[in-house]
Structure 1
Amino acid sequence: MAGVGGVVRDDKGQFLLAFGAEFVHWDISQVELMAIYYLKNILKDWMFEYQGVMIEGYNSNIIKDLQIGWKKRKNKDITDDRLSFLNDFYQVLFSFCSRNCNKLADICANLGVFNSFTWLDLLVKDIPPSFLSCLKEECDALGIDLVCSCSPFFIFLFIFNCYWHFS
């Protein structure tokens, strides 16, 4: 069993939503790709008002494959229906980031192993204190507010954190 999780922020780094989900697969690379494909389940209509989306992950091989695949898809050489939901964004970027820079997504992945969730705001009573504390630390370090002003410029999806649970 594996959990995937992610955090969606605006271009200023402010929280928009967080999610976690459980997947069963033997290949961690496939689970990381499933995290990308899962995004279509959490996207909201208002997110398409943003000019673009940046999807960050810590597996450089997956990020490279997605960058190449997306470029080929834009050139009409290849199509992948599992990523077709990204066509509604003006710009799509895939970027590598260190696992250490993705602590909130890691918390979401750990929680996703046991229960799928989507948090659309920070007032949900089910959000654990560890997540809120980590979010506050990150926001304080960046000098930003915890809540979003929602100016439609860019969405950042910090995902790909996978947590394996063996029972």
Structure 2
Amino acid sequence: MLSNTWHPPPPGWIKINVDAALKCNNMAGVGGVVRDEKGRFLLAFGAYFVHWDISQLKLMAIFFLKDIVKDWMFDYQGLMIEGDNSNIIKALQIEWKKRKNKDIIDGRLAFLNDFKQVLFSLCSRNCNKLADICANLGVYNSFNWVDLWDKDNPPSFLSCMKEECDALRLL
């Protein structure tokens, strides 16, 4: 059974929650949030796309990570990528396991080879609220936030982040 609140990654790891949003006019966005073991904000992103398939968009959100990965992320013990689509997460888990067996891996995931460890994790929609906010904002404007207190960060994002941290007593 999936949890109803966001949980931090293991000590020494970072977690990236990803999501996608699709509007009826095919305007779409992908987005995500990077946090550490203490729930501290490290980065948030959103990007605009035109598409028609929400499952493909959720997969594109993971492929898009190659565009936001920073050198400092490789210093962590591992990377947990979390999303709320069970079919996508399961497929990625299988694909990643093939990589360990030296089978062919989707080239769009090759950027993950530079991490010490990678884990794909399924979460409930309630645990993915911040990524959902980023994906919906990405529908209208691409962004990359590295400062939580930037004036461009919407109050809904900050409020949701505070709510999640308060629930885990992280702040």
Q: What's the TM-score, normalizing by structure 2?
A: 0.82
Instruction: Tell me the equivalent position of 1:43.
Output: 69
Query: 1:144, 1:115 → 2: CA distance?
Result: 30
1:89-108 mapped onto 2 (5 Å cutoff): 89-108=115-134
CA deviation after TM superposition for structure 1 residue 106, in Å: 0.9
Matching of residue 16 in structure 1 with residue 17 in structure 2: no
Find the residue that maps to 1:54 and give its secondary structure.
strand
Report the 3-state secondary structure (helix = DSSP H, G, I; strand = E; otherwise coil) of the residue aligned with 2:56: helix
* Superposed displacement of residue 46, structure 1: 0.6
Deviation at 1:123, TM superposition (A): 2.2
* 1:128 aligned residue: 154
Q: Structure 1: where are the runs of 5+ without partners?
A: 146-167
Match of 1:31 in 2: 57
Among 27, 33, 47, the alignment partner of 1:7 is 33
Q: What amino acid does structure 1 have at the position aligned with 2:62?
A: I
Is the Cα contact below 8 Å between 1:7 and 1:18 reproduced in 2? yes
Deviations 1:27-63 (A, max 9, x none): 2221111101110111111111011101111100000
| Counterparts of 1:79 and 1:65, CA distance in 2 | 12
Gaps of 5+ in 2: 1-26
The reply on whether 1:71 has 2:108 as its aligned counterpart is no
Q: Which has the higher contact order (CA 8 A, sep 6+)?
A: 1
Counterpart Cα distance in 2 of 1:72 and 1:43: 23
Q: Percent identity?
A: 80
Task: Report how many residues are paired.
Answer: 145
- Cα distance in 2 for residues equivalent to 1:24 and 1:131: 23
- SS of residue matched to 1:8: strand
Deviation string for 1:104-128 (max 9, x for gaps)? 1111111000000011011211001
**Deviation (angstroms), 1:79:** 2.1
What is the distance in 2 between the residues matched to 1:98 and 1:130?
19
Q: Does residue 93 of structure 2 align to residue 83 of structure 1?
A: no
Given candidates 131, 138, 142, the residue that maps to 2:168 is 142
Q: Give the SS at the match of 2:38.
A: coil
| Residues 136-159 of structure 1: CA deviation (Å, up to 9, x unaligned) | 1111111113xxxxxxxxxxxxxx
Distance 1:88 1:94 in 2: 15
Aligned CA-pair RMSD: 1.0
Q: Is the 8 A contact 1:73 1:80 kept in 2?
A: no
